[in-house]
Amino acid sequence: MEDLDISSEELKKMHQLGRGACSIVYQYDENLVIKALNEKGLEMHNEEEFSNLIGIENDTFIFPQSRVKIDGKFQAYTMEYVEGTKLDENIEQIQIQKLKLAIKKVENDLVKLASDKILIKDLNQGSIMWDAQKEDIKIIDTDFFEKNENITEKQCYAANINSFNNILEMELGILNGQETKLSKYLQKNEEYNKLYRKYLISPLNGKNISITELLDKAVEIFENDFEITINNIEQIQEILNERTENITTDEIPLYQSTNTEQNKLDIKQKIIEILRKIPGINKLISKQPKLLPEKTLTAEEINNQNRHNQFVERISDNGKYRNIFLGQPVKSIEIEKAKQKNKEPYAMSDKDKIEQMKNKMDEKSLEEDL
């Protein structure tokens, strides 16, 4: 089609269909729209790449048909007029069978797109339309696609189908890891998980599993679980909402501290005990507010502790030799006894040596605890 030449005054009189970050779309006639680029759109415009896209025919992808000069200067282009709504606005209401047929048609048209070596560069939810009259999916905003002769058709198709599927998974609410009730429910099903993994891995082997197989499996799961015929995604959402509303407070699990948290508490307590053995630190710790919550003991732990205390009482002659059994080094006790009686042990009469020995034993004890 030849270039179209119009004035800015004529453009202003046309019905405005939409406005984006890079352009404004006007209805030119019954079958054509004019997409006028603003300053940002013109900055991003690549004339060479754009020229490779003009006139490409594809039932799903709506490509530019001709350039448009506004006041004698290129600033827009014409495209086929698509009467419809954004797919994400009504995908839940579309019958599953009709949606599957529309997706299959897109997949076939993606094969044609790959034969033209055209890569999708900027696909988003706003670019995917649903034509209710024709019951088809249409993809607009193709002016920033790219013709690339340096890739194979297989590579081109794999990249494009991945872009399309990611958007579709998100709109359906079945994207793995997506915080939707549907995604969470399906991920609990082992059969679905197995199929989903295969669906993700298959492109690496040069094969592709259609997203329609995921839809079929999702429908099968809900029909089996709830003994109902599923017609659309909205029906599944209603089931999940009712299921959530019917959960009573008795069914909500109460939070319980984990073994990991108890282990962290044990480690902190161990550190405090080690620090207490360092001269001067014990007094500092004792003056501070409580650093740790008391460890909660189980009935079994309390019983074991009591039995241990009874054992220590018995073998320490009712406490006479208690310190020996509570972990204090025996040599340190002997030194203290000798000092009290003013009878220091042989070869330890030098006070400096005694202090060095005590420090050495304290350090050894600390290393053993660590």
Q: Which pLDDT value is given to residue 228?
A: 94
| CATH class for the domain made up of 4-80 | alpha beta
C-alpha span between 327 and 323 (Å, rounded) = 7
For residues 349-364, average pLDDT = 56
Q: Which pLDDT value is given to residue 193?
A: 94
The CATH classification number of 85-247 equals: 1.10.510
Q: Which pLDDT value is given to residue 285?
A: 52
For residue 244, pLDDT over 90 is answered with: no
Confidence band, pLDDT 50/70/90 cuts, at residue 365: very low
Q: Which of the two residues, 167 and 257, has the higher pLDDT score?
A: 167
Q: ∠ CA(250), CA(255), CA(261), 5° rounding?
A: 165
Q: Which of the two residues, 26 and 305, has the higher pLDDT score?
A: 26
For residue 66, pLDDT over 60 is answered with: yes
Q: Which pLDDT value is given to residue 307?
A: 72
Mean pLDDT comparison of 141-155, 326-340, 350-364, highest-scoring range: 141-155
pLDDT digits (tens, 9 = 90+) for 131-160: 999 999 999 989 889 999 999 999 999 999
Confidence band, pLDDT 50/70/90 cuts, at residue 48: confident
C-alpha span between 47 and 11 (Å, rounded) = 22
For residue 86, pLDDT over 50 is answered with: yes
Q: Which pLDDT value is given to residue 311?
A: 65
Q: Which pLDDT value is given to residue 249?
A: 42
Across 21-35, 213-227, 315-329, least confident range: 315-329
For residue 47, pLDDT over 60 is answered with: yes
Q: Which pLDDT value is given to residue 302?
A: 73
List the one residue out of 175, 86, 176 whose CA is nearest residue 125: 86
Confidence band, pLDDT 50/70/90 cuts, at residue 36: very high
Q: Which pLDDT value is given to residue 114?
A: 95
Domains of the chain, by residue range, sit at 4-80, 85-247, 260-294
